[in-house]
Amino acid sequence: MKSILPLFVFVDACGWEIIKDDPFVTGLAPYRRRLRSVFGYSSACIPSILSGRMPVEHRNWCYFVHDPKHSPFRPLRWLRWLPSALTGRRRVRRWLSKYVKMRLKFRGYFDLYNMPFRDINQYDFSEKKSPLQPGGMNCGTNIFDHLTEHGIPYHVSEPARGEQGNLEALLQDIAAEKIDFAFLYWPDLDGLLHRVGNQSPEIFLKLRAYEKDLNRLMAISRGHYTDVRLYIFSDHGMANCDRRLDLRSRILSLNLKPGNDYAVVYDSTMARFWFFNENARQKIVDYLKNVPQGKIMTDEELENLGTLFPDRYFGELIFLVSEGVLIVPSHMGERPIRAMHGYHPDAPHSYAALMANRDTVPADITAIPDIYKLMVAEAGEAHAHNRAQPQQTTTFPEATAALRRPAVPAKA
């Protein structure tokens, strides 16, 4: 039996608006609060949680950037000759993404999304390493570097194992009493919300399924650690998309030549432009100023959000749409999806949530990068206590039985 186990359970997209009127884990983790998110997608939010820093500091923001010099995608250009009816298919794209990830030895999350093969060699992918591993940040360190440096034994999920696989792997480490810190990664709610929206009964059911798993996790943990400190948290929420904006067609109608005059990445909620001449810049800026569904982000706003990059690596101009608007088609998808995130952090559905089983969460934990401080403090305390205590192995029949119980199949 060990003393303390800090359990950090990350539920992607389990935003404040999703849980505020739902009894989600109110029994297990009754102390809840709203957290401000970080401007960007999970590609920005997760690294901010894991490092305690803003995108401008860790330089993990949006996936694709215009950077022909460093593009690893040249070998994919021949795919432009294949019919788009084939290469545009989601299933084909998923298979190709897996293949490319393996060939290019990318360690993090990788998806080709809807990037056109015609000019994919003009772009680079900014997350080649996994932020869930030591050395996984583009700049600086993360919690796993910190734990490694201080010799604190920990468990972290591997996304490829899936939610249930990761739960089982964590339970094994807990039963072996070999860790002083755990980070469990559950991404499936995000995918479900994108598909069915934030009002679907499927969301309610998914939250109930999570509770069942969390109850089991806590029961087993309490059989091996006297004080289990549970923190369940998210990176952002999810807004239903009821309005669509075909920005690509509108920008194409300006009679500028993409590739020669400008480059652009259409994310689902923002468009990021690079300009190759003043005429193109002027035309596009003038046009975007009159698009009522969104606005050009000023340098001041970007700076306040920790996303003003002095080298404009992620784009010289950032156009952001209002909550509920979906840019479609985009480089993220050809077809609409029901819900999206990546709006302004002050939009109601952007807010994340933190739920804890202790009322000791400091008042200055107000935004998702603050979770890092909490993780560092808890891991340090657990390690000190667990080290000070003589090791002994105890068998708890109830906990052992729960561990043997078959896993509940994951809901896609």
Cβ distance to Zn ion smaller for residue 6 or 342: 342
Q: CB of 266: closest distance to Zn ion in angstroms?
A: 16
Span interacting with Zn ion, options 69-77, 182-190, 206-214, 286-294, rule CB under 5 A: 182-190
Tokens 């468009």, residue? 271
Asked if 180 interacts with Zn ion (CB under 5 A), we say no
- Which tokens in the block code for residue 403? 């561990």
**Span from 148-156, 163-171, 186-194, 301-309 in contact with Zn ion (CB under 5 A):** 186-194
Of 13 and 230, which CB lies nearer to Zn ion in the complex structure? 13
Is there a contact between 49 and 369 (Cβ–Cβ < 8 Å)? yes
Mask of contacts with Zn ion, 135-174, x by CB under 5 A?
----------------------------------------
276, 267 in Cβ contact below 8 A? Answer: no
As measured in angstroms, the least distance from the Cβ of 236 to Zn ion is 8
Q: Shortest approach of Zn ion to residue 178 CB, angstroms?
A: 33
Q: Which is nearer to Zn ion, 178 or 195 (CB)?
A: 195
Q: Give yes or no for residue 267 binding Zn ion (CB under 5 A).
A: no
The CB-of-188 to Zn ion minimum distance in angstroms stands at 11
Provide, rounded to whole angstroms, the least separation between the CB of residue 57 and Zn ion: 23
Sequence-distant (6+) residues with CB within 8 A of 184 are 7, 8, 9, 10, 155, 157, 166, 167, 170, 217
Smallest distance from the beta carbon of 12 to Zn ion, in angstroms?
7
CB of 238 to Zn ion, least distance (A): 7
Residue type, 344: H
Residue type, 407: A
With contacts defined by CB under 5 A, name the span among 57-65, 114-122, 190-198, 291-299 that binds Zn ion: 190-198
Stretch that binds Zn ion, among 185-193, 202-210, 248-256, 280-288 (CB under 5 A): 185-193
HEC string for 307-354: CCCCCCCCCCEEEEECCCEEECCCCCCCCCCCEECCCCCCCHHHCEEE
Choose the binding region for Zn ion from 174-182, 184-192, 243-251, 273-281 (rule: CB under 5 A).
Answer: 184-192
Which DSSP string corresponds to 358-391? SS---TT--BGGGHHHHHHHHHHHHHHHHHHSPP
Q: Name the segment binding Zn ion (CB under 5 A); options: 1-9, 56-64, 81-89, 189-197.
A: 189-197
CB of 307 to Zn ion, least distance (A): 18
Write the CB contacts of 259 (distance below 8 Å, at least 6 apart in sequence). 119, 122
Q: If you ran DSSP here, which 8-state letter would residue 258 be given?
A: B
Q: Are the C-beta atoms of 303 and 39 separated by less than 8 Å?
A: no
Q: Does 177 bind Zn ion (CB under 5 A)?
A: no
| Dihedral in degrees, nearest 10, Cα atoms 222, 188, 136, 122 | 180
Cβ count near 158 (within 10 Å) = 13
User: Least distance in Å: CB of 289 to Zn ion?
Assistant: 29
Give the residue with the Cβ less far from Zn ion, 338 or 383.
Answer: 338
Q: Is 190 in the site for Zn ion (CB under 5 A)?
A: yes
* Cβ(205)–Cβ(411) below 8 Å: yes
> Of all residues in this chain, which one has the CB nearest to Zn ion in the complex?
190
DSSP string, 120-166: GGGEEES--S-TTSTT-SSSS--HHHHHHHTT--EEE--GGGHHHHH
Sole window of 19-27, 143-151, 187-195, 243-251 interacting with Zn ion (rule: CB under 5 A): 187-195
Question: What does 165-217 look like in DSSP terms, one character per residue?
Answer: HHHHHHHHHHHTT--SEEEEEE-HHHHHHHHH-TT-HHHHHHHHHHHHHHHHH
User: How many residues lie near Zn ion (CB under 5 A)?
Assistant: 1
Instruction: Tell me how far, at minimum, the Cβ of 365 lies from Zn ion, in Å.
Output: 23
Contacts with Zn ion by CB under 5 A lie at 190
